[in-house]
Structure 1
Amino acid sequence: MDGQYGDSTRSVKAVASEHVPGSPVAPQPVSAATFHLSADEAAGLDTYGRSGNPTWRQLESALAELEGATAALTFASGMAAITAALRVLAKPGTKLVVPADGYYQVRRYASEYLAPQGVTVVEASAEQMCEASADADVVLAESPANPGLDVVDLYRLAMQCRRRGAILVVDNTTATPLGQQPLSLGADVVVASATKALSGHSDLVAGYVASSRADLMSALERERLLAGAVLGGFEAWLVLRSLGTAGLRFERQCQNAAALAVMLHTHPAVRAVRYPGLPGDPAHGVACAQMKRFGGLVAVELADAAAVEALVRRSALLVASTSFGGIHTSVDRRARWGDAVSEGFARISLGIEDTDDLVADVEQALA
C-alpha cells in the first residue's frame, strides 16, 4: 500500500513514532554531546555526539523512506553533504562532471579544492550533461538546475553511467523527494539541502545523502565521523518536526509556482520565464517523464536589476532573500552571486500564500 500513498500521507508516515502505549506521539529531540558508556564496548550504543544521535537516526530513516533509499545520512548543511560525497567518490586521477548551470558553490568547491588534488573537473550544462559524461568516473547532476531550472534526463544519464561503471550523484534539492526520486531512475546517490522545502521555514541549515548502496553509505558515514560536519540534535529534530507538513507545503508551493508561471508567461514586463511545468518550456517533456511535481521555483527575466528591485518594493507579499523553499514567497536576483545570468534574472521561490492573492500581488507589482 505504501506506493499508493499521497505526499502528505508519506510525509506524516515517515516521521511517525512507534505505536508504543505511553510513548510520545511526536518525535522528541535528543541534544547530547556525550552518553553513558557501557562496559560492553561492542554493544553499538551511542557514545559521543559526533558519531551518533537518536534524533539523527529517526530523521535519517524518514529521509530514506521519502527518497526510496535503504539509508540516509544527515549533515550540517547541503554543501557539507555534497562535498562529503565528492571527497569520497572523486579521487585523484578521476574525472568528475559538475553542473555548469547548477549551484555555483559546487563549481567553486570542485575547482578550488578537488582540481588541485588531481581530479579532472569538467563543467557541463543540463543540456550537455549526457555528452560530457561519456568518459567520466563520477557525475554530479542537478535537476532541475538551480537557478535556470533546466532539466537533465536522469534515466538516460543513469543508464550511460551504469554501462561504464561510473557513479551518478543527483542533487535533488529543487525537486525534493516529493517531486522526483532519482534513485528509482537509476542514480547511485542522492544529495540535497534540507534547508529548503523539506524543513521549509527558513530557520535552519541542514543536508543529507541517501542511497541504497551499502558500500558508499559506509564510506560516507566514516567521512562524516572524521570530518565532523554533523547536524546538531536540535536542528535534526526541527527538520523531523517540519517533515510532517512537507507534503502540504510543497503541494501549495507547486500550485503557486504553476499559476505564477502562467501569468508571467504572458506579462509584457517579462522577457522570459522558465518553469518545467509550462507546456511550452524546453524542459517540459523530460520533466513530465521523470517528475511527479514540477517544484516551487520559477525563473523570470525582467529588464534589469532595477526592475527586480521595483518588483519587490511594490509588492506586499514578496521577500527579497536568497535560498528557497520557505513558507514566504521570496525573490533572489542571481547575478549578484555570480551566476551566468542577466542582471534582470530572478529566481522566485513560491511560498504557501493563497494562490489568487499571490498572483494578483505580483501582477500589480509588475504593472
Structure 2
Amino acid sequence: MTPTPPDDTRPLTGSDLDYGPAGDADGTRVVRAGLPAEEPYEPPLPGPVFAAHYHLPGEVEGAPYAYGRDANPTWTRLERAIADLEAPEDPEAEVVVFSSGMGAISAVLLSLTRPGQTVVLPCDGYNLLAALHERLEGFGVRVRTAPTGGDAQLDEVEGARLLWLETPSNPGLDVCDIRRLAQAAHEQGALVAVDNTLATPLGQRPLLLGADISVASGTKALTGHGDVLLGYVATRSPEVAAAVRAWRKTVGAIPGPMEAWLAHRSLATLEVRTRRQAGNALAVAEALAARPEVSDVRHPGLTDDPAHALASHQMSRYGCVVSFTLPDQAHANRFLARLRLVGDATSFGGVRSTAERRGRWGGDPVPEGFVRLSVGVEDSADLVRDIRRALDASAAPESGAVADGLGGGV
C-alpha cells in the first residue's frame, strides 16, 4: 500500500502582489501573506493593536477604524493574508475573521438563510452541525441532510438556498466532489459553502473549485499550535462578505487582537507544517492498516482509500488526520493510555500529535472503538514505533485504572 502524494510544488496562478510577482509558490506566499510594505526599522509583522475605540474626527462614513467591534488593524492584516491563500488569483476575495470556527459557521448559516428556505447539510460532518440543524429548524428553515461520500448531497439540492459541504468530513474522512456539487447547486440558484478546516487553503481551495464560500476553524491546522481559537469566512461575493461581517458585529463574535496576531504569525510555517504532517499521516496510516486488530483505516492519501481518487484530483495534500477503529471502547482506551508521543486530546492539526476515542463526546455516528488521530510534526519513525508499541501493549485487558482508560491522557 504505497501512498502517492500529489505535487505540492506546482506553481500557483496569482495576481500581482505587493511583496512579489504573481505565481509565488505556497512556501513563499505563506511567509509574506498580509504583511505591510517594508518600513525602515519597523518589524515585518507589526504587533497586535489593542483598541476599543480610535480617534475619529468628522463623520463615520469612510473611516477605516471607528470602533473595536467593527474592525481592527491586526484583523485586517490577517484577513488579507488568508484571502491571499484561499484565492491567490483574485485580489477582490474577502475574508472575515471570527472568534472561533463555530462563530464563522454560525455566521454563514444564520445570516444567509430565512424562514421557509432550505439548507442542505452533511449528516456526517462536524458534530456541532447537529445543534445548528436544530437552531435553523427553530427559525423556520428547512434542513435536509445526506452523507458526504458518493456526492449524496446532490440528490437534496433542488430548491435549496444553501448547500453546505465538509470535505474531507470530520471525523470519517469522506470526500465529495466540490466542483460537481457546486455546479448542480448553482443551477438551482443555491449558494455553496465548504468547510475547509481539515484541508487548509494549502491543501484545497474551494473558491477555485466553484464554491461561493470557504469556511474554516483557524483553531486547527491553520494556526497549528493549539493555543488560539479562531475562525474565518472567505468569499468572492461582496454581498456574502457584508452579510457575515454584519452578523459578526451584531453578535459580537470578534477575535481578540492577540489571537489574530498569533494566527498571522503562525501562517509563516503553514506550508512546512502541513507538508510534514501529511507525510507523517501517510506513514501512520500505512502502519495502522497492517495491523489485524485495526479496521476501517481512513486517510485520503492511501491508494486504496475510497476517497483517494477524488482527493488526488481535488486536493494538493491529504491532511494530517487518520481515523480507524479498534475492537471496542475498552481496547481504544487502553491504546490511548499507552501512547507516549501522542497526547489524549480533542481537536486536530497541531504540531504535537493527539488522538481521542471520538465516541466519548457523543453525537458522531461512529463505533465505540473509533479513534481520530491527528498527526503532528514529530519524526515519522518515532510516531510509528510508538503507535505499534501501544497497540501491542493494549492487545489484552488488564486490571486497574489504566485498563479503564483512566491512567493516561488529558
TM-score by length of 1: 0.97
Instruction: Output the CA distance in 1 between the equivalents of 2:351 and 2:239.
Output: 37
Structure 1 residue 39 displacement after superposition: 2.7
User: 1:283-339, CA deviations, whole angstroms, 9 ceiling, x for partnerless residues?
Assistant: 111111100001000011111122222222222101011111111111121111221
Q: What residue in structure 2 maps to residue 103 of structure 1?
A: 126
Mean alpha-carbon deviation: is it higher for 166-175 or for 266-275?
Answer: 266-275
> Which of these residues, 104, 119, 126, is aligned with residue 148 of structure 2?
126
Q: What residue in structure 2 maps to residue 94 of structure 1?
A: 117
Note the 1:254-293 alignment, pairs <5 A: 254-293=278-317
Runs of 4+ in 1 over 3 A off after TM superposition: 1-6, 40-43
Mean alpha-carbon deviation: is it higher for 8-17 or for 190-199?
Answer: 8-17
Residue 71 of structure 1 pairs with residue 85 of structure 2: no
Q: What residue in structure 2 maps to residue 38 of structure 1?
A: 57
Q: Is contact 2:94–2:234 with CA below 8 Å preserved after alignment?
A: yes
Q: Is contact 1:201–1:327 with CA below 8 Å preserved after alignment?
A: yes
Instruction: Output the CA distance in 2 between the equivalents of 1:183 and 1:41.
Output: 33
Instruction: Output the CA distance in 2 between the equivalents of 1:92 and 1:8.
Output: 44
Instruction: Output the CA distance in 2 between the equivalents of 1:251 and 1:331.
Output: 19
Q: Is contact 1:271–1:302 with CA below 8 Å preserved after alignment?
A: yes
* SS of residue matched to 1:332: strand
Residue 202 of structure 1 pairs with residue 244 of structure 2: no
Q: What residue in structure 1 maps to residue 177 of structure 2?
A: 153
Mean alpha-carbon deviation: is it higher for 167-176 or for 41-50?
Answer: 41-50
> Which of these residues, 136, 149, 173, is aligned with residue 114 of structure 1?
136
Note the 1:1-16 alignment, pairs <5 A: 3=13, 4-16=23-35
Q: Is contact 1:99–1:107 with CA below 8 Å preserved after alignment?
A: no
Structure 1 residue 349 displacement after superposition: 0.5
Q: What residue in structure 2 maps to residue 347 of structure 1?
A: 372
CA RMSD of aligned residues (A): 1.3
Q: Is contact 1:17–1:24 with CA below 8 Å preserved after alignment?
A: no
Structure 1 residue 179 displacement after superposition: 0.5
Q: Is contact 1:98–1:107 with CA below 8 Å preserved after alignment?
A: no
Residue 357 of structure 1 pairs with residue 357 of structure 2: no
Instruction: Output the CA distance in 1 between the equivalents of 2:123 and 2:229.
Output: 24
TM-score by length of 2: 0.87
* SS of residue matched to 1:104: coil
Structure 1 residue 43 displacement after superposition: 4.2
Structure 1 residue 36 displacement after superposition: 1.6
**Going by fraction, where is helix more abundant, 1 or 2?**
1
Q: What residue in structure 2 maps to residue 297 of structure 1?
A: 321
Letter in 2 for 1:255: G
Letter in 1 for 2:332: V
Structure 1 residue 203 displacement after superposition: 0.8
Q: Is contact 1:75–1:231 with CA below 8 Å preserved after alignment?
A: yes
Q: Is contact 1:149–1:276 with CA below 8 Å preserved after alignment?
A: yes
Instruction: Output the CA distance in 2 between the equivalents of 1:363 and 1:353.
Output: 16
Structure 1 residue 22 displacement after superposition: 2.8
Letter in 1 for 2:172: G
Q: What residue in structure 2 maps to residue 230 of structure 1?
A: 254
- Matched positions, count: 366
Letter in 2 for 1:130: L
Instruction: Output the CA distance in 2 between the equivalents of 1:332 and 1:94.
Output: 37
Unaligned runs of 5+ in 2: 1-10, 14-22, 393-410
Letter in 2 for 1:120: R
Residue 23 of structure 1 pairs with residue 42 of structure 2: yes
Q: Is contact 2:86–2:205 with CA below 8 Å preserved after alignment?
A: yes
Mean alpha-carbon deviation: is it higher for 60-69 or for 127-136?
Answer: 127-136
Structure 1 residue 106 displacement after superposition: 1.3
Instruction: Output the CA distance in 1 between the equivalents of 2:64 and 2:25.
Output: 35
Instruction: Output the CA distance in 2 between the equivalents of 1:65 and 1:276.
Output: 26
Structure 1 residue 73 displacement after superposition: 0.3
User: 1:230-276, CA deviations, whole angstroms, 9 ceiling, x for partnerless residues?
Assistant: 00111100101111111111111111111111111111120220111
Q: Looking at CA atoms only, which structure, 1 or 2, has the larger radius of gyration?
A: 2
Instruction: Output the CA distance in 2 between the equivalents of 1:295 and 1:168.
Output: 22
Instruction: Output the CA distance in 2 between the equivalents of 1:122 and 1:357.
Output: 44
Unaligned runs of 5+ in 1: none
Structure 1 residue 38 displacement after superposition: 1.5
Q: Is contact 1:15–1:244 with CA below 8 Å preserved after alignment?
A: no
Q: What residue in structure 2 maps to residue 167 of structure 1?
A: 191
Residue 177 of structure 1 pairs with residue 167 of structure 2: no
Instruction: Output the CA distance in 2 between the equivalents of 1:43 and 1:92.
Output: 33
Give me the identity figure in percent: 44
Q: Is contact 1:94–1:119 with CA below 8 Å preserved after alignment?
A: yes
Instruction: Output the CA distance in 2 between the equivalents of 1:302 and 1:116.
Output: 38
Letter in 2 for 1:136: A
Q: Is contact 1:78–1:206 with CA below 8 Å preserved after alignment?
A: yes
Instruction: Output the CA distance in 1 between the equivalents of 2:46 and 2:272.
Output: 19
Q: What residue in structure 2 maps to residue 49 of structure 1?
A: 68
